[in-house]
Amino acid sequence: MTTGIELRDLRKRYEGHGSAGSWAVDGVDMQIGRGQFVTLLGPSGCGKTTTLRMIAGFEVPTSGQILRDGVDITDQPVTDREMRMVFQDFALFPNMTVAENVAFGLKTRRMKGRFGAAEVRRRVGEYLDLVHLGTHADKRPHQLSGGQKQRVSLARALITDPDVVLFDEPLGSLDAHLRKVMQIELIRLHRELNKTFIYVTHDQDEAMAMSDAIAVMNGGKVQQFGTPREIYDRPTSRYVAGFIGHAHIVEATVAESGASGLSVRLGNGEVVRLDAPADLQRGEAVGLMLRAEDLSLAKPGEGELHGQVSDSLYRGEYVEYVVDLKGGAGTVHVHEPTHAAPFAHGADVALKVNPAKAHVVGGA
């Protein structure tokens, strides 16, 4: 038996206007261990929210199974699941005070008798303190800022001590600064409370910063499920490589492949060496993933690739150069420290590739 949440070939089809409808979720298999912070990441319409809503019980899967600690909960009503959800629009009850909102989950009929009035009051105080809202208990939701509303919604979700907490783009309606603050807050809560967090977002920075594991989704399918480091450094598909970070993919063919490493040849004949061995055939077409921070510029002749600077952008933390590779082999971006000697627009340059970080993704 596995503890945690397991999704088995989960599918959901919405009957659309056409006869066929379309698969919002198209065969998702996933194991989420107890206490993990797992993020479903992808663009809108990729199926991440539908997957989360099926876990919560708001949507009925067309087929497939949801297991919790080995028990099939696919048909369990939402009211019985005791997984709490934090909504993007906060979903605070406007007719109740902050304290009443937070107490709601303790005062439902199914909880009757479990918590006395004094215990409810004590817990509400405790959880409001946990989210730093101790002094706002008697306010109404409309008197709070967006960040405060989301904290109330968090306290309301956590107060019944669920082992699984679901987040549906909870920071989506907050401004950039507040998002950063709340990210740190969520990581702290996850560390302190030791609960399973399943988190949906389209923001890759948010996903990278907070998660133990990320499932990158597209077209109703999980494209890759792994740690943030795996997803970033070793994407398994062009889609994931393009979606995460500032990766540029240059078409290449395998020149040499063995246990010691891998060489690929670009369209212009230049060759790049990679440290990581790969099970690829000589002559196979691949995409060479080059991230801006894994490249550096040098004088012509001092690097394995050559090209011409077509643009440079001062970004404050670094200077971003756009370089057209020789022979029209592709375009890459390069981040250079701001204190380095600048390269002029139109200058011929060489590029050094960090062989430990360069990576190939299969398929043409």
Partner 1 sequence: MLLWLLPPVAWFSVFILVPYAMLFWYSLGHTEDMHFVPGFSLANFARVFTDEPYLGVILKSARIGLTTAILSAIVAWPLAFVIAFHTRSASVKFALYLLVIVPWWASYLVKAYAWKTILGTNGILNATLQGLGFTDEPVRLFLYNEFSVVLTLTYIFTPFAVLSIYAQLERIPTSLIEAAKNLGAGGWEIFWRIVLPISVPGIIAGGIITFSLAFGDFVAPVLVGGSDSVMISNIVINLLGVAFDWPMAAAIGLVIITLGLGLISLTGWLEEKTKVRL
By CB under 8 A, name the binding residues for partner 1.
Answer: 56, 58, 78-85, 87, 89, 91-95, 104-105, 108-111, 140-142, 156, 160
- Please name the helix (run of DSSP H) or strand (run of DSSP E) that holds residue 151, with its range, or none: helix 146-158
Minimum separation from the CB atom of position 64 to partner 1 (A)? 21
Residue 204: CB atoms within 10 A of its CB come to 19
Query: Tokens 């907490």 belong to which residue?
Result: 165
Cβ of residue 46: shortest distance to partner 1, in angstroms? 20
| Distance in Å, CB of 198 to partner 1, minimum | 13
Q: Which is nearer to partner 1, 140 or 273 (CB)?
A: 140
Q: How far is the CB of 156 from partner 1 (least distance, A)?
A: 7
Whichever of 94 and 301 has its CB closer to partner 1, that residue is 94
Shortest CB 108 distance to partner 1, Å: 4
- For partner 1, the closer CB: 9 or 15: 15
Q: Identify which of residues 21 and 258 has a Cβ nearer to partner 1 in the complex.
A: 21
* CB closer to partner 1, 137 vs 249: 137
3 state DSSP class of 324: strand
Residue 216: Cβ-neighbour burial (10 angstroms; 0-12, 13-18, 19+): buried
* Local structure of 250: helix, strand or coil: strand
Strand (E) or helix (H) holding 243: helix 238-243
Q: How far is the CB of 308 from partner 1 (least distance, A)?
A: 52
Show the tokens assigned to 260.
């010691």
Q: Which is nearer to partner 1, 23 or 87 (CB)?
A: 87
Q: Which two tokens stand for residue 172?
A: 């989506």
Do 288 and 272 touch, CB atoms closer than 8 A? yes
From the CB of 100, what's the least distance to partner 1, in Å?
A: 9
CB closer to partner 1, 53 vs 333: 53
Q: Min. distance of Cβ 298 from partner 1 in angstroms?
A: 54
Comparing CB distances to partner 1, the nearer of 173 and 263 is 173
